Amino acid sequence: MEKLYINHPAVFVCALLSLAVGALWYSPVLFFKAWQKETGLSDEQVAKASPLKTYSLTLFLAWIISYNLAFFLGDSKMNWRWGLVAGLLAGVLGYYHASAMRTNNNNQTETA
């Protein structure tokens, strides 16, 4: 059986940092207006959203993703090549699924 070395506080910090980067990314300072235009959301719809629900779910999912990467990268035989591949796979697959969820949510909103 292989030994995994996972720093649990570091995993949680990574999830928090993911939340912080996302908050900055979608802030009015950077890309909020572009995101709002692309998603077709009005100011009223954005104002109706529950920040507690949104950030809680986002933190929970970021924590799962952080643990997933920690399990990938926690092997004692881990090297930089596998770290690069795991990061790219997580990014590409994560981007694909996030895009698919967005498209699916937009389709459900239009048909409802």
Could you tell me how far CA 103 lies from the centroid of its own chain? 16
pLDDT at 70: 85
* Residue 29 to residue 75: CA distance in whole angstroms: 39
Residues of the chain with pLDDT under 70: 1-2, 95, 98-112
Task: Classify residue 31 by its DSSP letter.
Answer: T
Could you tell me how far CA 68 lies from the centroid of its own chain? 12
pLDDT at 16: 93
pLDDT at 17: 93
The per-type count for the chain, helices as H runs and strands as E runs, is 5, 0
